Amino acid sequence: MSKQELYTSAAAKYWRDTLSDRLPSEWRKNVDEFEADITLKKMGKVDHKLFAETRLRMGAYGQRYDNGHRYDGKTVRDIPFPEEFKGPETYWDAPGMQRIKLPWGGLTPDQMDLFADLAEEYSDGICHITTRQAIQLHYIHIENCPSMYRRLGALGITTREACGNAVRNVSADPMTGVSPTEAFDVTPYAQAIFEFLLGHPDAQDFGRKFKIALSGDKEGSSGLVNIHDLGLIARIKDGKRGFEFYVGGGLGAVPYAAKLFSDFVSEEEILPLSQAVCRIYARHGEKKKRHRARIKFLIADLGFEKFRDMVIEERAKLPHDPRWTAYLKDLNKLDEKPSRPAGSGLKCTGDAAFDFWVKTNVKPQKQKGYVAVLVTLPLGDITSNQMRNLADICRKYINDTVRTVAEQNLLLRWVSENDVAALYAELKAVGLHLPGAESILDVTACPGTDTCKLGVSSSRGLAGEMRSRLYAKGAAIDPAIRDLRIKISGCFNSCSHHHIADIGFYGISRNVGGYVVPHFQMVLGGQFQNNGGAYGIGVGGIASKAVPAVVERLTGLYLESRNKDENFRTWVERTGKATIMQSLQDLLEVPAYEKDKSFYVDWGDVREYSVKDKGIGECAGEIVTLTDFGLKAADRELFDAQLRFEGGDATSAGSRAYRAMVLAAQGLLKGKDPDVPENADVVMERFTKEFHDTGVFNDPYAGPKFAQYYFQAHGHRGQGLDKDKTSLLLHEAQLFVEACHSCYARMSLTETKEAVA
């Protein structure tokens, strides 16, 4: 045993001996079993796939580390690890990410101290707040996980089902309980759903993850019910508490808005009805094709009415469970109390920085004399030292009333108005006084290429750049654009919630003159408010390095040409994508490699975007292939389809979206055979044979998912679809065309490599 191994096992024994008794028995059993699995895995006695699912269900993810090798700017170096893999091409015991779920985002100062310790001892000293109110630690070693789980469990936190095909963190509007506009506090209901469904036998056999959110009110809430598999919005009817009950929302590559299942489900009924939904999803949901496995697809396939009937029938058959209503007797258990007397109004200090911070980071509570204060965390990160300091600040001013926020910040509730200035001073002393929460300054980003294996472009790099440019303007930013949201995902999976941003981006790559260049697809006009009330629509790909200039131009245009009080979404709709893209035209051109190499390096990286590009000769910039032309034609056709949809002509939008897919497939085929015929059936047949069946088209992570969109569209050819279905087809066509671009980029790299070899 090495010194490190000896230390790890001695520490594990210490935590096991000291803490096991303080964990609920079920949680203890889970951790013990996981620890045993690790031992068996080391002995080679557990199948790789089985171990991976066990690990994921405990919230331990694989993490990107350049798949076992890293390009250091000059050469590719291997990172030495044993032979077995963790996920696609990652070693099973390589450093990973631990997701720790926090139901309804609740956090106490003692837990904050613990997070600080865990991040310092096992991670890189940084706690990362996620867009679903969880906390993530990166670079975790699998052998430290059981100790971590015991330490968390002793303070009431479980990581069970934080990942995997299970009920994920049950999130809630962080303002619930103090929001002036809500019907009532949803915290105890969120806690009840979490406790009831955690490890519930009816929620163990899903084809995919299942996300639940609760919100106290319909408007102005960041409960984000609309983007969840199951969502509840508080309502009082005839003096009785209940919920509007929604199902089938979800982001991911193609976003679906949740559908209203019932406009009033009484508080006694929410657990049995949720259970019935889980049973129907587990029994009838797709299990084999991952890309069709979320409940949104089951509802689309069955039809909403049929799905609802099945759930209602299932509910009627459920044997009574006393837990359905037991929690209602103790509904006030989680009620919060202030630790300081109510204040008497916010005092103005005349300090411009403080006043700006108050404007963006201090929110009124319904309880007179108290406010809720947002602590802005750049990119969702807080260091261990800051976390410890913040825990002490909380003990002094508020105590156990902290919540994580979907926009990757922390919310301190129940701050007395009299304490706001003193609190600001203490936050400032530890670097946590940044203004701009819930504004354009506070750009949200997923982990992207930093640590996520699926990342295509550097979302955090771009977000960091955007933040520093926007913060440089700070309070000088016009109030009309200050309230806009920017959200950046490293790929189409939308972990940053780019679909509901005013200005959203997701990472894509494009081939420019034989080089692969990091790009972002821009998505405009989504709505974060109203529970994620509307999804934006893709307008076009932009080189990563051009994005800051594009945002500057775009917001300038909005300011110049908006009608009085016109919001961004309405402005986008009125102006139209064609005009918007036209006005950005000069920023969309990617300079040749020889002219400006900076476009070929992503934000926050010193390396060229693709190491394999390095072998390309100088003539590469001149090559324009038939595939380039074909893909360009597909982009144009798709853009036209989107314009027609925008103009209210869903019928021709549908057939054009399908046509864009055919053109893209044909473009790829032209790389092999310039004489590929126009006939759509022949294109489909040859694409299937030459790109799908051979696996050439498969995305390294999403597999053949995007080809399936094309196959489905070939069935109906974009005809006879209603508005909702056409909107989905537009998203799917966009993803398929992007996948053709990526496939072409991968093929060019292989060819280049072969030519150079």
The kind and range of the H/E element at 261 are: strand 259-266
Q: Is 213 in the site for ligand HEM (CB under 6 A)?
A: no
Question: Chain-centre distance of CA 747, in angstroms?
Answer: 29
What is the phi-psi region of residue 527: left when phi exceeds 0, alpha when psi lies from -120 to 50, beta otherwise? beta
Query: Per CB under 6 A, does 533 bind ligand SF4?
Result: no
Scanning 332-340, 491-499, 635-643, 737-745 for contacts with ligand SF4 by CB under 6 A, the matching segment is 491-499
Is 448 among the residues that bind ligand SF4 (CB under 6 A)?
Answer: yes
500 sits near ligand SF4 (criterion: CB under 6 A): no
CA–CA distance, 738 with 749 (Å, rounded to integer): 17
Whether the CB-CB separation of 501 and 487 falls below 8 Å is answered with yes
250 scored as a contact of ligand HEM (CB under 6 A) = yes
132 counts as binding ligand HEM under rule CB under 6 A: yes
Residues 306-345 that bind ligand HEM (CB under 6 A): none
- Applying the rule CB under 6 A, the residues between 453 and 472 that interact with ligand SF4 are 454-455, 459
Among 98, 131, 567, 642, binds ligand HEM (CB under 6 A): 131
| Maximum CA extent, the chain | 80
Q: How far is the CB of 183 from ligand SF4 (least distance, A)?
A: 33
Contact pattern for ligand HEM over residues 419 through 458, marking x by CB under 6 A? ---------------------------xx----xxx----
Residue 130 in contact with ligand HEM, rule: CB under 6 A: yes
Closest contact distance (angstroms) between CB of 5 and ligand SF4 is 31
Which of ligand SF4, ligand HEM, none sits in contact with 489, Cβ below 5 to 8 A by type?
ligand SF4
Binding ligand HEM by CB under 6 A: which of 252, 604, 615, 621?
252
Using rule CB under 6 A, residue 508 touches ligand SF4: no
Under a CB-based contact definition with an 8 Å cutoff, are residues 365 and 420 in contact? Answer: no
Q: Which is nearer to ligand SF4, 499 or 692 (CB)?
A: 499
Binders of ligand HEM in range 276-305 (CB under 6 A): 294
Closest to 171 measured CA to CA, from 126, 222, 121, 220: 222
227: contact with ligand HEM by CB under 6 A: yes
199 binds, among ligand SF4, ligand HEM, none (CB under 5 to 8 A by kind): none
Closest listed residue to residue 136, CA positions, set 123, 117, 150: 123
Where b means 16+ CB within 10 Å and e means fewer, 447-483 reads: bbbbbbbbbbbbbbbbbbbbbeebbeeebebeebbbb
Counting contacts by CB under 6 A, is residue 97 touching ligand HEM? yes
CA angle 267, 271, 276 (to 5 degrees): 130
Q: Does the protein bind ligand HEM through residue 86 (CB under 6 A)?
A: no
Report the alpha-carbon distance of residue 651 to residue 353 in Å, rounded.
53
Work out the burial of residue 341: count CB atoms within 10 Å of its CB; fewer than 13 is exposed, 13-18 middle, 19 or more buried. exposed
Q: Are 149 and 58 in contact (CB under 8 A)?
A: yes
Q: Reduced to 3 DSSP states, what percent helix, strand and coil does the chain have, rounded to the nearest 5? A: 50, 15, 35
**Closest distance of CB 422 from ligand HEM, Å:** 32
Pick the piece of the chain touching ligand SF4 (CB under 6 A) from 178-186, 294-302, 392-400, 489-497: 489-497
User: Residue 212 burial (CB < 10 Å; 0-12/13-18/19+)?
Assistant: buried
Contact partner at residue 490 from ligand SF4, ligand HEM, none, CB < 5 to 8 Å by partner kind: ligand SF4
Query: 230-237 and 210-215: which strand pairing?
Result: parallel
* 208 makes contact with ligand HEM (CB under 6 A): yes
Assess 642 for contact with ligand SF4 (CB under 6 A): no
Least distance (Å) between residue 691 CB and ligand HEM: 23
Residue 136: which of ligand SF4, ligand HEM, none does it interact with, CB under 5 to 8 A by kind? ligand HEM
Q: How far is the CB of 433 from ligand HEM (least distance, A)?
A: 24
Handedness of CA 78, 79, 85, 88 (dihedral sign): negative
Name the one range near ligand SF4 by CB under 6 A: 151-159, 247-255, 446-454, 677-685.
Answer: 446-454
Which is closer to ligand SF4, CB of 424 or CB of 520?
Answer: 520
**159 contacts 114 by C-beta, under 8 angstroms:** no
CB atoms within 10 A of CB 722: 9
Count interface residues toward ligand SF4 (CB under 6 A).
Answer: 13
CA distance 716 to 713: 5
439 belongs to the binding site for ligand SF4 (CB under 6 A):
no
* Residue in 170, 443, 452, 631 binding ligand SF4, rule: CB under 6 A: 452
Beta-carbon neighbour count of residue 40 at 10 Å?
12
Contacts 24+ apart (CB under 8 A), 232-238: 232/186, 232/189, 232/265, 232/270, 233/531, 234/182, 234/183, 234/184, 234/186, 235/183, 235/263, 235/264, 236/183, 236/184, 237/264
Interface positions with ligand SF4 (CB under 6 A): 446-448, 452, 454-455, 459, 489-491, 493-495
Interface positions with ligand HEM (CB under 6 A): 61, 97, 130-132, 136, 208, 211, 227, 250-253, 294, 446-447, 452-454, 493-495, 497
